[in-house]
Amino acid sequence: MFANKKPFITAILGALVALSIIALVLSLVKIEDVTLPPTVKYGMVFDAGSSHTSLFVYEWNSDKENDTGVVSQTLSCDVQGQGISSYANDPSKAGDSIRECLDKALKVISAAKQRDVPAYFGATAGMRLLREQNSSAADKVLAEVAKTMGEYPVVFKGAQILTGEEEGAYGWITINYLLDSFTKYSPRAHSWVHPEVANILGALDLGGGSTQISFRPEGSAINWNETSKLTLYGYNYNIYTHSYLCYGQNEMLKRLAKELIAESSFSTRVDHPCYPKDYTETISLSSFRTSPCTNRSDPRLTLSDRNVTLEGRGNASGCLAAIKKLFNFSACGQSQDCTFDGIYQPPVRGQFIAFSAFYYNFQFLNLTEGQSLATAREAIEHFCTQSWEDLPSSYPEENPERLPKYCANANYILTLLLDAYKFNETSWKNIFFQAKAGSTDVGWTLGYMLNLTNMIPAEAPAWVKGHVPSLWAAAIAFIILTLALALAALLLLLWV
């Protein structure tokens, strides 16, 4: 009878040996043995400013560094036309305006990944002003944008109007990320590490409708109610940030024209010290009704449709004096922790990156290479004294619509930085004018994406997806050994 069982028992013994070998191999599997590369993910952010809209596409690996993604810019696209707030009377055009850039974005993202791409639309000062003036019109513009975004194969997360403080904080995150203040890659460690001595930078942003200052203050006398707490790459940061609505350069120019007209007793021809000599511009008093920044106070300005001609005088000192009148410096009294209009600000500290219109105005005047304050003042004064007859030939490649405004813009920047934010001859050297860091634009959108990657659920580590980890291998080995023991028990029964 045993002879009849011999082939069967031999088969069982062979299976037992095979299972034992498999169990032994599985018990030796290590996590590092088989890993897969992290998956590349994409995200897109629209920056809808007061004067124009831009789209930025970012990418990052699914593995994250201390819960914050390592993000780089893949594409930037400028939307044709003005800011979306200009479509208040025809909201559908706001949605149509972004289609061209959306089409370009989808060309750089594979079809297989498009439906996983989070897409955000952030509007800033232009829409903040429109909401203040006509909230229903602002809602309709955003609804049309959302309607268009919904037609594309992306995960649309909504169109929203950022607060000024959010805009300032995200800009601060962007510059410190790009310049390795938070984390940088260590070739020796083959990983991202926190710098031993982190040089945390301040951010200065100047747009068309508002301006922002953000930095990490120092000292025990800080009003911590005016600071925000951010956590990035495993570290906490307390920053001061403030946004000044109606103090962007476009709104400043409108307010300046309005004040000059008021001072002239509403003459039909008004001297403009900031415009080049012999340059003229005709505006309607009704244009002041289009913005909450100028649609206030004197009814003779806001209720009339009469035209007024502004005549340039090319007076640098007169321009600076006129611009200073746009600020209420007396509201601060003798306080050093105050900018203007009674707004609290701790003393500026450390190095700052000045971007957006800060950069573009000073880049035009060749003042972005670390020139001294005295040199900057001299260059601005020289530019302001040039006549309109000379300027186009001196700057043939510049947009003629912008040329008359550089004198006012430059003097405004001086006033904002020196009189309002209280930089001085010494701290001026700590301001660096920049538009890009490497190939990435400096602005609030990258900081926005960095913050949002914290909200995206962390994906499982690559080893979970790539192979069976040691814990699971041990479990499987245990099951196999149990089966082997069961077979051995069966074998013993057959022997009996």
Residue ranges per structural domain of the chain? 2-34+467-495, 40-199+437-455, 200-434
Q: Which residues are catalytic?
A: 167
In 111-247 the beta strands, taken as DSSP E runs, fall at 118-123, 155-161, 184-186, 191-193, 202-206, 210-215, 227-232, 235-245
Burial of 10: CB neighbours in 10 Å, binned 0-12, 13-18, 19+: exposed
The CATH homologous superfamily to which domain 200-434 belongs is Exopolyphosphatase. Domain 2 (3.30.420.150)
The answer to whether 379 touches 366, Cβ cutoff 8 Å, is yes
Give all strands of the β-sheet with 53-61 in edge-to-edge order: 71-78, 53-61, 40-48, 118-123, 155-161
Query: Tens-digit pLDDT profile for the chain (496 aa)?
Result: 445 555 655 665 565 556 555 555 545 544 444 444 567 889 999 999 999 999 999 988 776 655 566 788 999 999 999 999 999 999 999 999 999 999 999 999 999 999 999 999 999 999 999 999 999 999 999 999 999 999 999 999 999 999 999 999 999 999 998 888 887 766 676 666 777 666 899 999 999 999 999 999 987 556 766 788 887 777 888 899 999 999 999 999 999 999 999 999 888 999 999 999 999 999 999 899 888 999 876 666 666 789 999 999 999 999 999 999 999 999 998 888 999 999 999 999 999 999 999 999 999 999 999 999 999 999 999 999 999 999 999 999 999 999 999 999 999 999 999 999 999 999 999 999 999 998 899 999 998 887 776 644 434 333 233 333 444 444 454 555 555 555 555 555 555 5
Domains 40-199+437-455 and 200-434 agree in fold: yes
Write down the CATH number for the domain with range 40-199+437-455.
Answer: 3.30.420.40
User: Helix %, strand %, coil % for the chain, to 5?
Assistant: 45, 20, 35
pTM of the model: 0.83
